[in-house]
């Protein structure tokens, strides 16, 4: 039997990463949270080891905020509930562990 503690992911991260690397990592882990949001979490001591938040340029954030063209007008009409459904489909650049490439 082994006796000991397993370090939590955040604690291991604190030991090995700079403040800039930690900021980027938490920014990504928290769904690309804004710099303001990260600062609020740091003020409340909710992110272990992160003391200074200075978020660098994030290409993913800029790309996701780009405006897209509107869809054309649909002429389809439904007569029953849920007969016609509109939704977004997102294609991932990476294959998931289960082999999926799309997200609805």
Tell whether the model's pLDDT for residue 23 goes beyond 80: yes
| pLDDT score for 10 | 52
Structural domain that includes position 59: 8-65
Can you tell me the distance from the alpha carbon of 100 to that of 28, in angstroms, rounded to the nearest whole number? 21
Residue 38 belongs to some domain of the structure:
yes
Surface-to-core class of residue 101, CB atoms within 10 Å of its CB (0-12 exposed, 13-18 middle, 19+ buried): exposed
- Assign 14 to helix, strand or coil: helix
> In percent, how much of the chain has pLDDT > 70?
81
Say what the pTM is.
0.49
Q: How many domains is the chain built from? A: 1
Residue 24 belongs to some domain of the structure:
yes
């Amino acid at each position: 039997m082994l006796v000991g503690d397993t370090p939590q992911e955040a604690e291991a991260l604190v030991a090995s990463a700079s403040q800039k690397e930690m900021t980027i990592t938490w920014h990504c882990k928290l769904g690309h949270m804004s710099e303001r949001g990260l600062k609020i979490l740091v003020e409340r001591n909710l992110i272990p080891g992160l003391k200074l938040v200075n978020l660098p340029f994030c290409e993913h954030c800029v790309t996701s905020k780009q405006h897209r063209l509107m869809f054309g007008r649909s002429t389809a009409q439904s007569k029953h509930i849920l007969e016609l459904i509109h939704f977004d489909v997102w294609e991932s650049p990476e294959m998931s562990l289960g082999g999926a490439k799309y997200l609805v």
